Amino acid sequence: MKKHHHFIIYKPYGFLSQFVNNQTKRKKKLLGELYNFPDKTMAIGRLDVKSEGLLLLTTDGKVSDFITTRGNVEKEYYVQVNGEIIPSKIEELKKGVEIGFDGKKYTTKPCKASIIKTPNLPKRAQKIREERHGPTSWISITLTEGKFRQVRKMTSAVGHPTLRLIRVRVGAIKLEKLNVGEVKEIETLV
């Protein structure tokens, strides 16, 4: 029986969550630059180029399918947003907000959300913005779905655009003390 490989990585800001770049015009940083992954390694879900944090990789398509579509697996994000967010906006996020998806209106499923203290995270390679542009807040959002740029669209829908987005947990797997760009092979993902 063929042994599958599973990895957790701290995806840095500025990297695509893929191994092949189909855009010939611009050179983008790809996951393969971080580690010598075995053939047929795939990202489980995605983090957009401006997002950071925990990304799961596997050579097992069944595990990928379970986590992304069938497992109802929680994904937790720490999000730095523009402005001082108030509890009523957190309640809106929890209940579900209307966002655009695939050219249509979509109401997000209820989720967990809370205001958090500034987390102890590595500085991002690219500066967020100047402090003189006003206050920011940190929130935690935990979802079981994952539409294209969903967290960013959700925070914008309540009037607090995302400035920084870090995935810190997928199911029971946590980012914990991984360094930015670090790759760690693990026994299992589920």
Catalytic residues: 48
The burial of 178, by beta-carbon neighbours within 10 Å (0-12 exposed, 13-18 middle, 19 or more buried), is given as: middle
Tallying the residues shown for the chain, one arrives at 190
Rg of the chain taking only CA atoms, in angstroms: 17
CA distance 171 to 25: 36
Q: How many Å apart are CA 41 and CA 35, to the nearest integer?
A: 11
Burial of 117 (0-12, 13-18, 19+ CB in 10 A): exposed
